[in-house]
Amino acid sequence: MPEWLASRLPEWVTAWHLIVFSIVLAVSMAAVSAAIVGVVLARLPADFFVNLHAQRPIDRHPILKAILVSVRNFFGYVLILLGIVLSLPGVPGQGLLTILMGVMLIDFPGKRRVLRWLVSRQAVLRNVNRLRAKAGQPPLIVERPPSDSGSHGENPGQSP
């Protein structure tokens, strides 16, 4: 153990204590992040990435809204940093999914386009949809289905 670290720790702490603590911390962080990411991704509407109304903010008092946005952005950046750490080799956890959740929480210009690009990656979409299937939710829709230019969403064969 480095001298600078040993001088800051109690005498009873050995290198084995640090190794065990690090392993327990890494496994715990991976489990908690996977659980949180799983719950949030399972609760998203299936059309979240193609329907603007699914992403519309709730109207609240301006001060409360500013506080909520600040807290949400803070947790988003924490999740992004945690996802980067979980993406490193040898660290267990769902790094890309955690980064996705962090990006979904923060506000920045072009956010919708970045989210759609990230979730449309085959590996990410496959894992997200597998997770949603386990929760009994339909798969995410990441691209708007082709529509007829003249119908405007109506079925011409049906009467009003």
Residue 55 to residues 28, 52, 90, Cα–Cα distance (Å): 31, 5, 35
Task: Answer whether residue 21 shows pLDDT above 70.
Answer: yes
Contact 129, 97 (CB under 8 A): no
**Predicted confidence (pLDDT) at residue 67 exceeds the cutoff of 80:** yes
Which tokens is 85 given?
């750490």
Lowest mean pLDDT, pick from 37-46, 47-56, 65-74: 47-56
Give the C-alpha separation, 143 to 153, whole Å: 16
Q: Angle 26-84-9 (CA atoms, 0-180°, nearest 5)? A: 40
Domain boundaries, the chain: 19-134
103-134 pLDDT tens trace = 878 888 887 787 788 788 888 889 888 988 98
Out of 84-88, 99-103, 147-151, 156-160, which region has the weakest mean confidence (pLDDT)? 156-160
Residue 93's pLDDT is: 67
| Mean pLDDT score across all residues of the chain | 78
